[in-house]
Amino acid sequence: MVSTKHVFVTGGVASSLGKGIIASSLAKLLQARGYKVTNQKLDPYINIDPGTLNPYEHGECYVTNDGAETDLDLGHYERFTDCPTSQANNITTGRIYQNVITRERRGDFLGKTVQIVPHITDEIKHNIKLLCNTGDYDVIITEIGGTAGDIESLPFLEAVRQLRWELGEKSVLIHLTLVPYLAATGELKTKPTQHSVKSLLEIGLQPDILVLRTERELSDDLRKKVSLFCNVEPKAVIESIDVSTIYEVPIRMETENLDQIVLQKLELPLNGIPDMDLWKQFLYKLKNYSREIEVGLVGKYVELHDAYKSIAESFIHAGVVNDCKVNIRWLHSEDITSDNVAEKLGGLKGILVAPGFGNRAIVGKLRTVEYARTHNVPFFGVCLGMQMAVVEFARNVLNLKDANSTEMDTDTPYPVIALLESQEKVTDKGGTMRLGAYKCELKEESHAYEAYGEKLIEERHRHRYEFNNKYKEQFEKAGLVSTGVNPESGLTEIVEIPALKWFVGTQFHPEYKSTVSKPHPLFVSFIKACLS
């Protein structure tokens, strides 16, 4: 059996430098050289998972097939490599402590004092190694969230230190830092990188490779200087210059030989050159499109685009398939009223109403659906967006006054969206929704079937409320039909208005499954409709 090798990715100087993109790019390149690779993210916060976090705090909550609510970096990993991730790919401090404390309560530590070292660090190491035990991977790339020097990342870094000691030659540490440009003096500065490496050295971690994020090209002299101060070979000081799209980063990293240096250090063969042809074709089409359209994304966290990361990326993938650049008009549902809806949504070729929770800004979503339906603008409702399409239709077409989702109004006379039966006794908020992949059977003669080209699909979910099948007949008679149903539970997963050009609502989240090599069929079909 091959023994799995490890790459660790840490960050320094500033947050948001793109560790996730560097880790995903490296995974892509190693995969393109024939290696089986997976990415893992260690998050230093105390929440068990990001499922309970407000999107403003941490961006989108990404959901895996096995129903884990995870960091949005896992979305990048999947979009780049097309390999599904799982709960084991995202570990938080909260989960580590929860596991240790549960064992302590069980008496597993036999009267010992339970401490950060070794018990917490052992648990971290155990979780890093879990992915090796599957025997499925040649290389595991583990990204440590946060920035070197943070109090909260220390146990993770200490665990990495111990693991590197145990693994010997079988691991590589990449440290990503920022080289700021000082306009006043016209210089790129290396001191923050030197300090960041020093703070890693203080805890016993020597980076093997430095990836320097920069706005300007790095000179050979600068690389030599960093190499000298940080004990890293000059060729392992790598430039990561700002680029117009994240999808260019793997190509840049290939030019900088990141993958080759990693393999040499891991003592693994290069296996020729990476096969990046399909990726390069995608990138070429992304940059050379023949048309542009604007679609609206209506949600209540639009100030932070990361809150809808997977949707925005799905639009990019679907645009490439349709030879078109998709520009997003980010619209806050709170700002949309009956008076200004036509002005706010005017000129859009299509409208997507986003997922979400709670009553705030719901009226703007309903107005948006009404506008799309009555003006025959292609409409895509995702999760809450689908539910609001059902509520709008109930109120304005079926004339069911005050019809609602019981999430918004428990006393509504017409609960057209209602709590899932399985949720009735659930009181805890964390990890208790209907989560992960479920099957869905499509009705032939539907946009959904036309898009997927197959009858049985599987998509990921994250919700507590559901289309109320008691009203199904009434809706269908009036023209809103259920075109996708879960074969086991009979739950309605997709609704459509066939009389309109393209009006589709999905209870599931298609955006989690769109990747560079497999753009999501519903997004592709939606953009196609927007263009016609």
Binding site for ligand GLN (CB under 6 A): 355-357, 383-384, 407, 462-465
Between 237 and 383, name the residue whose CB sits nearer to ligand GLN. 383
Q: Do 31 and 275 contact (CB within 8 A), yes or no?
A: no
Residue with Cβ nearer ligand GLN (60 or 73): 60
Active site annotation includes 450: no
Smaller CB separation from ligand GLN, 330 or 357: 357
CA dist 354 and 382 (Å) reads: 5
Judged by CB, which is closer to ligand GLN: 349, or 464? 464
C-alpha neighbours within 13 Å on the C-beta side of residue 334: 8
Rounding to the nearest 10 degrees, give the CA dihedral for residues 462, 465, 469, 474: -110
- What is the spatial distance between Cα 322 and Cα 345, in angstroms, rounded to a whole number? 22
**Residues 176, 15: Cα–Cα separation, whole Å:** 10
Which of these is catalytic: 61, 324, 383, 530? 383
CA–CA dist 162, 488 (Å, integer): 47
> Smallest gap, in angstroms, from Cβ of residue 332 to ligand GLN?
16
As measured in angstroms, the least distance from the Cβ of 435 to ligand GLN is: 10
Q: How far is residue 319's CA from residue 313's CA, in Å, rounded to a whole number?
A: 10
Q: Per residue in 437-462, is it b (16+ CB within 10 Å) or e — as a string?
A: bbebbbbeebbbbebbeeeebebbbb
**Nearest distance from residue 276's CB to ligand GLN, in Å?**
35
Let me know the angle formed at the C-alpha of 439 by 434 and 505, rounded to the nearest 5 degrees.
75
CB 190 within 8 A of CB 225: yes
Task: Establish whether 509 is a catalytic residue.
Answer: yes
Residue among 137 and 438 whose Cβ is closer to ligand GLN: 438
Nearer to ligand GLN, 309 or 464 (CB): 464
- Tell me which of 392, 511, 520, 530 is the catalytic residue: 511
Specify the amino acid at residue 441: E
CB of 116 to ligand GLN, least distance (A): 36
Q: Supply φ then ψ for residue 88, to 5 degrees.
A: -65, -15
Cα 18 to Cα 525: distance, rounded to the nearest angstrom: 31
Which CA distances in Å does 126 have to 14, 122, 397, 530? 29, 6, 56, 49
In the residue annotation, 383 being an active-site residue is answered as yes
List of residues 6+ apart from 425 with CB closer than 8 A: none
The distance of closest approach from Cβ of residue 138 to ligand GLN in the complex, given in angstroms and rounded to an integer, is: 35
Host H or E run for residue 448: helix 447-452
Tell me the closest approach of the beta carbon of residue 355 to ligand GLN, in angstroms. Answer: 3
Cβ at position 386, least distance to ligand GLN in Å: 8
- CB 257, min distance to ligand GLN, A: 42
Nearest CB to ligand GLN, comparing residues 35 and 475: 475
CA dist 192 and 175 (Å) reads: 13
List 6, 461, 463, 509, catalytic entry:
509
Distance CA 111, CA 453 (A): 60
Q: What angle do CA 455, 456, 460 make, to 5 degrees?
A: 135
Q: Which residues of 327-348 are buried (b: 16+ CB within 10 A; e: fewer)?
A: ebeebebeebeeeebeebbeeb
Provide, rounded to whole angstroms, the least separation between the CB of residue 433 and ligand GLN: 6
Between 344 and 461, CB nearer to ligand GLN: 461
Q: Kindly tell me which of 213 and 367 has the beta carbon lying closer to ligand GLN.
A: 367
| Burial group, residue 212, by CB count within 10 angstroms (0-12, 13-18, 19+) | buried
Give the helix/strand (H/E) hosting 43.
strand 37-43
The residues carrying an active-site annotation are 383, 509, 511
